[in-house]
Protein backbone atom coordinates (compact mmCIF):
# COMPACT_ATOMS: atom_id res chain seq x y z
CA UNK A 1 0.00 0.00 0.00
CA UNK A 2 1.41 3.37 -1.01
CA UNK A 3 1.82 6.40 1.27
CA UNK A 4 1.54 10.09 0.41
CA UNK A 5 2.56 13.06 2.55
CA UNK A 6 0.62 16.23 1.74
CA UNK A 7 1.36 19.67 3.16
CA UNK A 8 -1.23 22.34 3.90
CA UNK A 9 -4.21 20.04 4.43
CA UNK A 10 -6.21 22.14 6.88
CA UNK A 11 -8.53 23.38 4.13
CA UNK A 12 -9.05 23.85 0.42
CA UNK A 13 -7.05 21.92 -2.14
CA UNK A 14 -4.85 20.19 0.40
CA UNK A 15 -7.74 18.85 2.43
CA UNK A 16 -9.59 17.62 -0.65
CA UNK A 17 -6.43 15.99 -2.01
CA UNK A 18 -5.84 14.15 1.26
CA UNK A 19 -9.41 12.85 1.26
CA UNK A 20 -9.15 11.81 -2.39
CA UNK A 21 -5.98 9.77 -1.90
CA UNK A 22 -7.49 8.12 1.16
CA UNK A 23 -10.63 7.20 -0.80
CA UNK A 24 -8.39 5.55 -3.39
CA UNK A 25 -6.79 3.27 -0.81
CA UNK A 26 -3.56 5.13 -0.05
CA UNK A 27 -2.05 5.75 3.36
CA UNK A 28 -2.23 9.51 3.92
CA UNK A 29 0.00 11.69 6.08
CA UNK A 30 -1.94 14.96 6.24
CA UNK A 31 0.19 17.79 7.58
CA UNK A 32 -0.67 21.26 8.83
CA UNK A 33 0.70 23.81 11.27
CA UNK A 34 -2.03 23.20 13.84
CA UNK A 35 -3.31 19.61 13.66
CA UNK A 36 -7.07 19.08 13.68
CA UNK A 37 -7.58 15.31 13.49
CA UNK A 38 -11.32 15.65 14.05
CA UNK A 39 -11.73 17.22 10.61
CA UNK A 40 -10.81 13.94 8.90
CA UNK A 41 -12.15 10.36 8.87
CA UNK A 42 -10.97 8.01 11.59
CA UNK A 43 -8.84 5.43 9.80
CA UNK A 44 -5.66 3.49 10.31
CA UNK A 45 -4.67 4.76 6.86
CA UNK A 46 -5.01 8.46 7.76
CA UNK A 47 -2.71 10.38 10.10
CA UNK A 48 -2.59 14.09 10.87
CA UNK A 49 0.91 15.41 11.63
CA UNK A 50 2.08 18.87 12.73
CA UNK A 51 4.33 20.60 10.21
CA UNK A 52 5.60 24.11 9.58
CA UNK A 53 7.43 24.05 6.26
CA UNK A 54 9.46 27.11 7.24
CA UNK A 55 11.05 25.36 10.23
CA UNK A 56 13.83 22.78 9.60
CA UNK A 57 13.21 21.02 12.91
CA UNK A 58 9.51 20.69 12.12
CA UNK A 59 10.30 19.23 8.70
CA UNK A 60 12.70 16.68 10.16
CA UNK A 61 10.20 15.64 12.83
CA UNK A 62 7.39 15.25 10.29
CA UNK A 63 9.43 12.97 8.04
CA UNK A 64 10.60 10.92 11.00
CA UNK A 65 7.00 10.48 12.10
CA UNK A 66 5.80 9.66 8.58
CA UNK A 67 8.31 6.93 7.84
CA UNK A 68 8.87 5.86 4.20
CA UNK A 69 6.60 7.57 1.69
CA UNK A 70 5.97 7.12 -2.02
CA UNK A 71 4.80 10.62 -2.93
CA UNK A 72 5.25 14.13 -1.57
CA UNK A 73 2.65 16.76 -2.44
CA UNK A 74 3.87 20.27 -1.64
CA UNK A 75 0.58 22.11 -1.37
CA UNK A 76 1.12 24.45 1.61
CA UNK A 77 1.23 28.07 0.53
CA UNK A 78 0.47 31.66 1.41
CA UNK A 79 -1.69 33.60 -1.06
CA UNK A 80 -0.98 37.25 -1.70
CA UNK A 81 -2.86 39.95 -3.60
CA UNK A 82 -2.22 43.64 -3.91
CA UNK A 83 -0.23 46.31 -5.68
CA UNK A 84 3.47 45.62 -5.36
CA UNK A 85 4.33 49.22 -4.43
CA UNK A 86 2.08 48.89 -1.40
CA UNK A 87 3.33 45.46 -0.32
CA UNK A 88 5.75 45.53 2.65
CA UNK A 89 8.95 43.61 2.04
CA UNK A 90 8.28 41.69 5.25
CA UNK A 91 5.16 40.29 3.56
CA UNK A 92 7.18 39.45 0.42
CA UNK A 93 9.67 37.46 2.49
CA UNK A 94 6.84 35.70 4.36
CA UNK A 95 5.28 34.57 1.08
CA UNK A 96 8.60 33.29 -0.30
CA UNK A 97 9.49 31.51 2.95
CA UNK A 98 6.46 29.24 2.57
CA UNK A 99 5.71 29.16 -1.17
CA UNK A 100 9.28 28.85 -2.40
CA UNK A 101 11.81 28.01 0.29
CA UNK A 102 9.37 25.77 2.17
CA UNK A 103 8.74 23.71 -0.98
CA UNK A 104 12.47 23.44 -1.63
CA UNK A 105 13.21 22.42 1.96
CA UNK A 106 10.53 19.71 1.94
CA UNK A 107 11.77 18.41 -1.39
CA UNK A 108 15.39 18.31 -0.30
CA UNK A 109 14.40 16.41 2.84
CA UNK A 110 12.59 13.65 0.94
CA UNK A 111 15.02 13.14 -1.94
CA UNK A 112 17.53 10.83 -0.20
CA UNK A 113 14.91 8.15 0.45
CA UNK A 114 13.47 8.47 -3.07
CA UNK A 115 16.89 8.35 -4.73
CA UNK A 116 18.12 5.40 -2.68
CA UNK A 117 14.94 3.44 -3.37
CA UNK A 118 14.89 4.36 -7.06
CA UNK A 119 11.28 5.54 -7.04
CA UNK A 120 9.06 8.32 -5.79
CA UNK A 121 7.34 11.46 -7.02
CA UNK A 122 7.27 15.08 -5.89
CA UNK A 123 4.24 17.12 -6.92
CA UNK A 124 4.52 20.87 -6.36
CA UNK A 125 1.22 22.76 -6.38
CA UNK A 126 1.74 26.18 -7.96
CA UNK A 127 -1.06 28.28 -9.51
CA UNK A 128 -2.67 29.27 -12.79
CA UNK A 129 -1.16 32.75 -12.27
CA UNK A 130 1.96 31.28 -13.92
CA UNK A 131 -0.06 30.70 -17.11
CA UNK A 132 -1.20 34.23 -17.87
CA UNK A 133 -0.70 37.93 -17.25
CA UNK A 134 -2.55 38.74 -14.04
CA UNK A 135 -2.25 42.03 -12.14
CA UNK A 136 -2.22 42.32 -8.35
CA UNK A 137 -0.31 39.05 -7.99
CA UNK A 138 3.30 40.14 -8.53
CA UNK A 139 4.64 38.66 -5.28
CA UNK A 140 2.51 35.52 -5.36
CA UNK A 141 3.28 34.87 -9.02
CA UNK A 142 7.00 35.36 -8.48
CA UNK A 143 6.99 32.80 -5.65
CA UNK A 144 5.13 30.27 -7.80
CA UNK A 145 7.15 30.93 -10.98
CA UNK A 146 10.26 30.17 -8.95
CA UNK A 147 8.84 26.73 -8.14
CA UNK A 148 7.94 26.12 -11.78
CA UNK A 149 11.55 26.74 -12.76
CA UNK A 150 12.86 24.77 -9.80
CA UNK A 151 10.72 21.75 -10.66
CA UNK A 152 11.61 21.72 -14.35
CA UNK A 153 15.32 21.52 -13.55
CA UNK A 154 14.79 19.16 -10.62
CA UNK A 155 12.93 16.69 -12.85
CA UNK A 156 16.01 16.39 -15.07
CA UNK A 157 18.31 15.77 -12.09
CA UNK A 158 16.05 13.06 -10.66
CA UNK A 159 15.17 11.17 -13.85
CA UNK A 160 18.33 8.98 -13.81
CA UNK A 161 17.27 7.67 -10.39
CA UNK A 162 13.71 6.81 -11.37
CA UNK A 163 12.30 9.72 -9.35
CA UNK A 164 9.75 12.09 -10.88
CA UNK A 165 8.88 15.76 -10.26
CA UNK A 166 5.70 17.53 -11.47
CA UNK A 167 3.77 20.75 -10.99
CA UNK A 168 -0.01 21.16 -10.70
CA UNK A 169 -1.42 24.59 -11.58
CA UNK A 170 -4.84 25.20 -9.97
CA UNK A 171 -7.18 27.81 -11.34
CA UNK A 172 -9.26 30.25 -9.31
CA UNK A 173 -11.59 28.68 -6.75
CA UNK A 174 -14.53 30.57 -5.22
CA UNK A 175 -15.05 28.15 -2.32
CA UNK A 176 -11.68 28.46 -0.61
CA UNK A 177 -10.50 31.22 1.76
CA UNK A 178 -7.85 32.39 -0.73
CA UNK A 179 -9.06 36.01 -0.95
CA UNK A 180 -9.21 36.55 2.82
CA UNK A 181 -5.76 35.03 3.33
CA UNK A 182 -4.33 36.85 0.32
CA UNK A 183 -4.87 40.22 1.98
CA UNK A 184 -3.76 39.01 5.42
CA UNK A 185 -7.11 39.87 6.95
CA UNK A 186 -7.28 43.43 5.59
CA UNK A 187 -9.53 44.68 2.80
CA UNK A 188 -7.81 45.02 -0.56
CA UNK A 189 -8.65 48.74 -0.54
CA UNK A 190 -6.56 49.21 2.61
CA UNK A 191 -3.53 47.73 0.87
CA UNK A 192 -3.75 49.72 -2.35
CA UNK A 193 -1.98 53.09 -2.65
CA UNK A 194 -4.46 55.75 -3.76
CA UNK A 195 -2.98 56.25 -7.26
CA UNK A 196 -3.70 52.57 -8.01
CA UNK A 197 -7.33 52.58 -6.78
CA UNK A 198 -9.01 52.85 -10.16
CA UNK A 199 -6.69 50.31 -11.76
CA UNK A 200 -7.32 47.86 -8.92
CA UNK A 201 -11.08 48.23 -9.18
CA UNK A 202 -11.01 47.42 -12.89
CA UNK A 203 -8.58 44.54 -12.43
CA UNK A 204 -10.71 42.93 -9.72
CA UNK A 205 -13.84 43.33 -11.83
CA UNK A 206 -12.11 41.62 -14.74
CA UNK A 207 -10.81 38.81 -12.56
CA UNK A 208 -14.30 37.96 -11.31
CA UNK A 209 -16.00 38.21 -14.70
CA UNK A 210 -15.14 34.68 -15.82
CA UNK A 211 -17.80 32.00 -16.10
CA UNK A 212 -15.64 28.98 -15.27
CA UNK A 213 -13.76 28.35 -12.04
CA UNK A 214 -11.86 25.57 -10.36
CA UNK A 215 -13.29 23.21 -7.74
CA UNK A 216 -11.25 21.61 -4.98
CA UNK A 217 -12.01 18.23 -6.53
CA UNK A 218 -10.45 19.37 -9.84
CA UNK A 219 -7.16 19.91 -8.05
CA UNK A 220 -7.31 16.67 -6.06
CA UNK A 221 -7.97 14.64 -9.20
CA UNK A 222 -5.19 16.41 -11.10
CA UNK A 223 -2.67 15.79 -8.32
CA UNK A 224 -3.71 12.13 -8.45
CA UNK A 225 -3.05 12.02 -12.21
CA UNK A 226 0.29 13.75 -11.79
CA UNK A 227 1.42 11.24 -9.17
CA UNK A 228 0.66 8.35 -11.51
CA UNK A 229 1.95 9.96 -14.70
CA UNK A 230 4.98 8.22 -16.21
CA UNK A 231 4.97 9.92 -19.62
CA UNK A 232 7.51 12.57 -18.68
CA UNK A 233 4.88 15.32 -18.64
CA UNK A 234 5.93 18.12 -16.28
CA UNK A 235 2.99 20.49 -15.83
CA UNK A 236 -0.68 19.81 -15.12
CA UNK A 237 -3.24 22.67 -15.18
CA UNK A 238 -6.15 21.94 -12.83
CA UNK A 239 -9.66 23.25 -13.39
CA UNK A 240 -11.37 24.49 -16.56
CA UNK A 241 -10.10 28.07 -16.23
CA UNK A 242 -6.52 26.89 -15.79
CA UNK A 243 -6.85 24.51 -18.74
CA UNK A 244 -8.16 27.37 -20.89
CA UNK A 245 -5.23 29.58 -19.92
CA UNK A 246 -2.80 26.79 -20.70
CA UNK A 247 -4.33 26.17 -24.11
CA UNK A 248 -4.22 29.89 -24.92
CA UNK A 249 -0.47 30.09 -24.35
Contact between residue 77 and residue 125 where contact means Cβ atoms under 8 Å apart: yes
Partners of 50 in beta bridges: 32
Q: C-alpha angle 57/124/131, rounded to 5°? A: 140
CA dihedral 201, 203, 205, 211 (to 10 degrees): -170
Q: Which of 13, 140, 196, 228 is catalytic?
A: 140
Residue 140 annotated to the active site: yes
Partners of 49 in beta bridges: 31
Distance separating alpha carbons of residues 63 and 208, to the nearest angstrom: 40
**Strand stretches in 1-150, DSSP E:** 3-6, 27-32, 46-50, 71-74, 121-125
Q: C-alpha angle 244/14/238, rounded to 5°? A: 10
Distance separating alpha carbons of residues 64 and 85, to the nearest angstrom: 42
Distance separating alpha carbons of residues 51 and 36, to the nearest angstrom: 12
Partners of 166 in beta bridges: 123
Active site (catalytic) residues: 140
Amino acid sequence: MKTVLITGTSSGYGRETALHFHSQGWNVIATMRTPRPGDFPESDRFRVVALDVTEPESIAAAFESAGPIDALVNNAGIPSMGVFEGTPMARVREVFETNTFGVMAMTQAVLPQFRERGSGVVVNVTSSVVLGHMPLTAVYKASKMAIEGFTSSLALELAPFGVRAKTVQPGACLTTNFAARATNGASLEELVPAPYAEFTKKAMGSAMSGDVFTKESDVAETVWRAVYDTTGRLRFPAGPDAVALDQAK
